[in-house]
Copies of this chain bind each other. A is one copy, B any other.
């Protein structure tokens, strides 16, 4: 399905029209070579499978600044003197971009869309004004909100944490933001609501009461859940794990840490995970690992699609271009029956040196083509069934007699000992990793 092209009073990406599927033969950089939204794969259109979203922050707020230099990119929508006027221009630029790129979804933080005011009330009012406008834009264009969130990490007041700040008044400010962001998400029909705890952690273990802070965090999440449900939010609450950066150590380390925390505090019925690839690798896992752990727990909510540099120890948030990651992630998503109300959100940014306006499009096109190709390849693998059959064959002993009784909880340790003592030495079974990897390449490079 194509959304209606939106261009506001001013066109911010002149010379660039809607990005169309032109196929692998095309020489046009501003076209899709693989992403054909209406193409049917495994019974659904690519668009329905992939549910792509553009993020507001990297694409419309960030300017290329890094710790060693200021921004490099032009952002004509931010050039005015009045923050609210700039915010309205930015919204227009965003919807122009969404519809030219033809993505079904976007995501935002409260402070991406509307500037913080001088008081809580003014901040709320600013956000409400922009939300009203955004709702109009959504209705006019057909672009929907994948998720909203509150920025509890940029303002200096959050330097020691948001929900886990040692000062209760700061926690209260965090609550005020979450309340308003939940209301905005509901108003805009957002399908999920995300918590990323960028300052929820510590820089120094010895000035921090980790136990108390984590209990505060659980209480805060429960309050947010209760409030969200009370105003009609029926979507999923999502936690986005990250192990470090900006803090030395953050609480939501990885999928399993967060799953354990949510279950311990009885939050696992309302909360799921938003897995970001580059966060998983910073935690020492492949992105496939964190996805699989979330799927195993029945708690995969959504995906922040990006990648890091294997040689760099910080979040480079590059567009997902490594087809090995994309294919493996898609295999997991397909096996899990799809993303449900989640999507692939491009939490990715062009490099500081990528300063042409079209570069914002090129980055997204590359990511969308990568996942479109990955979907086709993953479907090929799943349909062919060889890999899955090999995996299943390794566990056949649990489908039978003693193995099955073990799984059913009918055997004791002594029973197992007797089984081993009464059986011949196990037959060696090669794990055949090389065979599996060869198959993967054969499927990818037919």
Contacts and interface: CB of A to CB of B under 8 A. Distances in A.
B445 A323 contact: yes
Interface string A72-107: 100000000000000000000000000000000000
Contacts of A243: 284
A365 B439 CA distance: 11
Interface string A195-212: 000110001111111111
A175 B420 contact: yes
Contacts of A402: 168, 172
Contacts of A155: 69
Interface stretch (A40-48, A128-136, A137-145, A356-364): A356-364
A45 to B, nearest CB: 20
A292 B423 CA distance: 45
Nearest to A399: B168
A309 to B, nearest CB: 5
A387 B69 contact: no
Kindly list the 4 A-B residue pairs having the minimum CB-CB distance in the complex, ordered from nearest. A313-B313, A260-B260, A175-B416, A353-B431
A339 interface: no
Secondary structure of the A contact surface, majority rule: helix
Interface string A170-181: 111101101110
A356 B430 contact: yes
A425 interface: yes
A71 interface: yes
Interface stretch (A7-15, A185-193, A223-231, A269-277): A223-231
A39 interface: no
B312 A430 contact: no
A351 B206 CA distance: 14
B433 A353 contact: yes
B284 A244 contact: yes
B260 A120 contact: no
Contacts of A203: 351, 353, 431, 433
A22 to B, nearest CB: 11
Contact of A420 (B70, B172, B353, B423): B172
Contact of A68 (B198, B323, B387, B444): B198
Contacts of A421: 119-121, 176
A68 B423 CA distance: 26
A385 interface: no
A406 B168 contact: yes
A440 interface: yes
A296 B169 contact: no
A120 B423 CA distance: 10
23 contacts: A67-B246, A69-B159, A120-B421, A160-B431, A167-B394, A167-B426, A169-B423, A170-B426, A172-B419, A172-B423, A176-B417, A203-B433, A211-B296, A227-B412, A243-B284, A253-B284, A263-B263, A263-B264, A319-B434, A319-B437, A323-B441, A370-B441, A373-B445
A407 interface: yes
A383 to B, nearest CB: 15
A158 to B, nearest CB: 7
